Amino acid sequence: MRISKVDLNLFVVFEAIYHHRNLTRAAETLCITQPAVSNALARMRKTFNDPLFVSTPAGMVPTPMSENIIGRVREALQLLDASAHEGDVFDPAASERVFPVSMSDLTEALVLPALGERLQQQAPGMHIRSYYTDRAEVPIALANGSIALAIDAPLIADPQLCQTALGRDRYACMIRHDHPFKGSVLSMEDYLAMGHIHVSSRRKGSGYVDAELTRLGLRRNIRMRVQHYMVAPLIAMRTDLVLTAPLRLLQRYPVRILELPFEIPDLEWHCYWHRSVDRDPGNQWLREQLMTLMRDAAD
């Protein structure tokens, strides 16, 4: 099959059908008629010599051929779109773009209040949609455009992605002001004797702090496991339980903050984006805002 003989608009239709699993909804998205989508699908089937999608009660189910090519099709469409806007001048004040960003609840708490204020001042029409994408799924989500940026630990390695360091923070320990522990310095014995709050979205398994304690041959007494960082300080403020978390989060609450009695690597944040949007002016502007805000928060 020679690309010069293929109508590239067919790939736009193909992606819409794959995304919606429905010809009518694909047509509505593309602002064309449903018969036009059906006709395009028929042409694609002839071109690829494959059904591409099978009609079922649950919708249009992709064939193995479609599953194999969807990633490259989406990447190619993003590259073409970026090329078409290469010379555009991005005006944040006039922008109404929607940017889906993957981040954890901890990152939301540290970034979104300041970012919201920045957007209100400089880009009031811009929209941010924040939700967490599993780390293993980030490369695919960035490639297909379901997220524009991802903020995560520097643990994602994919040749199709670009990344930059956003910042880092050290861990500390917080207890309420009237906690039974009255000392100013925690010993390891003190730390291990206390009841602890562990934050994890998973139903079981250890975390960052516990991995370091395990390396030392030690184990803390986890009395409560919660899903979100934002609820953990509220629990620590009303109980004798202890919370170990990044310092920037703990400093937001009226609590006692103590140094940990053991060394633990800092928590690092990196920003990831697909290389197809590396020169997209809007994506560039948002990345710059995030880097500035994270840098200012560390000062």
Q: What is the pLDDT of residue 1?
A: 52
For the chain, where do the domains classified as CATH 3.40.190.10 start and end? Answer: 98-169+268-298, 171-264
DSSP three-state, residue 12: helix
- Domain 3-84 has what CATH class? mainly alpha
pLDDT digits (tens, 9 = 90+) for 183-193: 999 999 999 99
Mean pLDDT of the chain: 89
In whole angstroms, give the CA distance from residue 150 to residue 164. 11
Please state, for a pLDDT cut of 70, what percent of the chain lies above it.
95
Helix, strand counts (H, E) of the chain: 11, 12
Q: What is the pLDDT of residue 4?
A: 55
| Averaged pLDDT, 176-186 | 95
Q: What is the pLDDT of residue 206?
A: 75
171-264, CATH topology level: D-Maltodextrin-Binding Protein; domain 2 (3.40.190)
pLDDT digits (tens, 9 = 90+) for 262-276: 999 999 999 999 888
Instruction: Write out the two tokens for 174.
Output: 């917080």
Instruction: State the pairing for strand pair 195-199/221-226.
Output: parallel
Is 66 or 80 the better-scoring residue by pLDDT? Answer: 66
Query: Domain 98-169+268-298 classified CATH 3.40.50.1110?
Result: no
Is the pTM higher than 0.75? The answer reads: no
State yes or no: pLDDT of 298 exceeds 80.
no
Long-range CB contacts (within 8 A, 24+) of 289-292: 289/115, 289/118, 290/111, 290/115, 290/149, 290/151, 290/166, 291/164, 291/166
DSSP bridge pairs for 127: 98
Is 117 or 77 the better-scoring residue by pLDDT? Answer: 117
Query: Considering only 13-27, 31-45, 195-209, which range has the smallest mean pLDDT?
Result: 195-209
- Which one, of 163, 152, 157, lies nearest residue 107 by Cα? 152
In whole angstroms, give the CA distance from residue 96 to residue 91. 10
Q: Label residue 30 by pLDDT band (50, 70, 90).
A: confident
